[in-house]
């Protein structure tokens, strides 16, 4: 089966202006959302207590809220969790007392609301939450810098910077969506952001690699515009890009649908990140190569020089091995 039988390159770079404007606006909106609305931080980062309770039949949140209003858990946030018979209670406060039994207290307070089972009690103290926040930020920075260095080493600085801009764009927009849809920002969402970094760079590198190859194949002496080379490379990798993104998307979609409430945040962020990761490789990373003044002729000269050196080296080695030197 084949989907893409296109032989003529699409003029992707011709669409750059409108598409780029879109990216720019969405990025700015994301920043705005993150700055003003912010995130609903989970207890991993904010500290607090979460109690997950499962009833034997569907329950009314309002009834439970009313029941708890006369107890010490009056201020608890109550939400449905995954199914109508399961709820979570969110408490701001934490306790350092090792022997204090929150499960028992909640269980006593809920007494009379039906048959239930306390399935999970998570408590994160404020100090640990702070630490997880710093560690998360460090993890993001370290991977971005690591990727920057790797790409700069394997390609050149312009590729590296363009790739990083695309990465920041993806993470920013994903984070913006997390904020917009009130998805709880917990450790799994952070993990998703880091995985998106990995996948997005994946897509970008596949295209960059193709660009390098196309430049390599361009015949000496022909006048070639970088935008034409990008168009050709993106077109050649298009079927791969779409196929991979589609498979990954469906895999994550199954996680999102069947993976359970606990990895909901993770799969939500991944869904958005995968789409934008592929999009940004084409429409964000590649145009930056043009704007950074990447010159095909110069690149070819460098490649030719490298080849010449390699040939020289091979010749020397051959001579050496034959004992002529």
Name residues contacting another protein, limited to 142-161 (CB under 8 A).
142-143, 146-147, 150-151, 154
What is the full DSSP assignment across 199-245?
Answer: HHHHHHHHHHHHHHHHHHHSPTT----HHHHHHHHHHHHHHHHHHHH
244 interacts with another protein by CB under 8 A:
yes
What is the full DSSP assignment across 44-101?
Answer: HHH-EEEEEEEESS---HHHHHHHHTTSTTTT-EEEEESEEEEEEEEES-----TT--
CB nearer another protein, residue 195 or residue 303: 195
314 interacts with another protein by CB under 8 A:
no
Q: Which residue has the tokens 């269980």?
A: 107
Contact region with another protein (CB under 8 A), list: 25-33, 58-66, 121-129, 219-227: 121-129
CB of residue 25 to another protein, shortest distance in Å: 28
* 8 A C-beta contact, residue 234 and residue 10: yes
Contact region with another protein (CB under 8 A), list: 17-25, 126-134, 215-223, 306-314: 126-134
CB nearer another protein, residue 259 or residue 290: 259
Two tokens, residue 277: 């990761």
Between CA 107 and CA 266 the distance in angstroms is: 29
Q: How many residues bind another protein (CB under 8 A)?
A: 77
CB nearer another protein, residue 33 or residue 47: 47
295 interacts with another protein by CB under 8 A:
no
* 8 A C-beta contact, residue 218 and residue 298: no
For the segment 207-236, give every residue that binds another protein (CB under 8 A).
209-210, 213, 236
121 interacts with another protein by CB under 8 A:
yes
Single residue of 34, 40, 118, 275 touching another protein by CB under 8 A: 118
Single residue of 248, 272, 284, 285 touching another protein by CB under 8 A: 248
SS3 content of the chain, % helix, strand, coil (to 5): 70, 10, 20
Contact region with another protein (CB under 8 A), list: 25-33, 118-126, 289-297, 313-321: 118-126
136 interacts with another protein by CB under 8 A:
yes
Single residue of 19, 26, 128, 290 touching another protein by CB under 8 A: 128
Residue 296's nearest CA partner among 200, 206, 232 is 232
Residue 280's nearest CA partner among 190, 184, 164 is 164
* 8 A C-beta contact, residue 94 and residue 81: no
Contact region with another protein (CB under 8 A), list: 17-25, 28-36, 90-98, 291-299: 90-98
Q: Which residue has the tokens 């990216």?
A: 23
Could you tell me where the DSSP H helices lie in 155-181?
157-180
For the segment 39-68, give every residue that binds another protein (CB under 8 A).
52, 54
Between CA 24 and CA 315 the distance in angstroms is: 51
For the segment 165-204, give every residue that binds another protein (CB under 8 A).
187-188, 190-191, 194-195, 197-199, 201-202
Single residue of 64, 78, 91, 132 touching another protein by CB under 8 A: 132
Two tokens, residue 224: 């070639």
CB nearer another protein, residue 71 or residue 244: 244
Between CA 196 and CA 273 the distance in angstroms is: 6
DSSP, collapsed to helix, strand or coil, labels residue 135 as: helix
**254 burial via Cβ count (<10 Å: 0-12, 13-18, 19+):** exposed
CB of residue 311 to another protein, shortest distance in Å: 19
CB nearer another protein, residue 29 or residue 165: 165
Single residue of 127, 216, 298, 307 touching another protein by CB under 8 A: 127
């Amino acid at each position: 089966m084949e989907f893409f039988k296109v032989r003529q390159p699409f003029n992707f770079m011709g669409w750059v202006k409108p598409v780029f404007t879109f990216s720019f606006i969405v990025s700015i909106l994301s920043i705005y959302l993150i700055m003003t609305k912010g995130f609903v931080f989970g207890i991993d980062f904010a500290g607090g207590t979460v109690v997950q309770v499962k009833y034997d039949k569907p329950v009314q949140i309002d009834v439970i809220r009313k029941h708890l209003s006369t107890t010490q858990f009056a201020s608890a946030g109550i939400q449905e969790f995954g199914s109508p018979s399961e709820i979570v209670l969110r408490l701001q406060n934490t306790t350092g007392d090792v022997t204090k039994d929150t499960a028992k207290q909640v269980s006593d307070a809920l007494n009379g609301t039906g048959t239930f089972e306390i399935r999970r009690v998570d408590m994160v103290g404020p100090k640990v939450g702070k630490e997880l926040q710093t560690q998360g930020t460090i993890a993001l920075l370290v991977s971005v810098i690591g990727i920057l260095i790797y790409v700069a080493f394997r390609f050149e600085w312009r590729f590296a910077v363009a790739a990083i801009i695309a990465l920041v764009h993806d993470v920013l927009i994903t984070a913006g969506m997390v904020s917009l849809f009130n998805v709880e920002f917990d450790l799994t969402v952070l993990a998703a952001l880091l995985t998106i970094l990995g996948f997005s760079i994946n897509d970008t590198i596949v295209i960059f690699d193709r660009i390098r190859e196309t430049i390599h194949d361009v015949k000496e002496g022909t006048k070639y515009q970088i935008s034409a080379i990008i168009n050709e490379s993106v077109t050649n990798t298009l079927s791969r890009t779409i196929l991979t993104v589609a498979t990954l998307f469906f895999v994550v979609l199954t996680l999102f649908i069947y993976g359970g409430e606990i990895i909901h945040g993770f799969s939500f962020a991944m869904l958005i990140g995968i789409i934008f990761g592929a999009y940004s490789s084409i429409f964000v990373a590649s145009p930056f190569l043009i704007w950074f003044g990447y010159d095909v002729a110069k690149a070819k000269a460098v490649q030719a020089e490298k080849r010449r050196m390699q040939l020289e080296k091979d010749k020397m080695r051959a001579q050496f091995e034959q004992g002529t030197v």
